[in-house]
Amino acid sequence: MAKKEFKVAGVTFSNGMFKKSRQDVIKGCKYGDLLKLEQDYSNKHDDYAVKVLTMEGEQVGYIPKGKAKSKRVYLSLEEKNDVTAKVTERFSFLDENNDRIYGLNIEVDSLLSANEAKEAANKGCLGIIFILIPILSLMKLMF
């Protein structure tokens, strides 16, 4: 398993009307806190979106768009459901309106290596082939 560090994306977006804001959730995070990762199958902007959540389930943001697939986070989550991350830094800066914005850097410690990801992807393809062959054979017999 490989490790990778990410800057959490989407930290200023809302978590919904009746939920704690991502900025408020991040203010409560500190170095070493454990976070969990969860695939966001309903994300309209990224087929491989991965939510970053506190252990209590409050969302702080996302793994940056495009990084989940290329960095094997997505495949790691497909293989096992307990991929975690930890906070390596909480930082803040002033935006153009002079508002303080908080962000997080996290380290994901359960990523598949390139070879493991390739093997997992191939395993998925082989599974599809083993399912399709009998179906195609049955269709050939039926028609």
Residues 77 and 143 both lie in one domain: no
Tell me the pLDDT tens digit for each residue of 11-62: 999 998 889 999 999 999 999 999 998 888 888 888 888 899 999 999 999 9
**Does residue 68 have a pLDDT over 50?**
yes
Residues 136 and 104 both lie in one domain: no
Q: Does residue 6 contact residue 103 with C-beta atoms inside 8 Å?
A: no
Residues 58 and 125 both lie in one domain: no
Residue 130 phi, psi (nearest 5): -65, -25
Residues 68 and 7 both lie in one domain: yes
Q: What is the pLDDT of residue 79?
A: 59
Residues 28 and 74 both lie in one domain: yes
In three-state secondary structure terms, 95 is: coil
Residues 25 and 83 both lie in one domain: yes
DSSP state string for 8-72:
PB-TTS---TTS--HHHHHHT--TT-EEEEEE-TT-SS-TT-EEEEETTS-EEEESPTTHHHHTT
In three-state secondary structure terms, 113 is: coil
Domain span at residue 88? 2-112
Residues 121 and 104 both lie in one domain: no
pLDDT (mean) for 67-76? 59
> What are the Cα distances from residue 79, in Å, to 1, 10, 59, 132?
12, 25, 22, 22
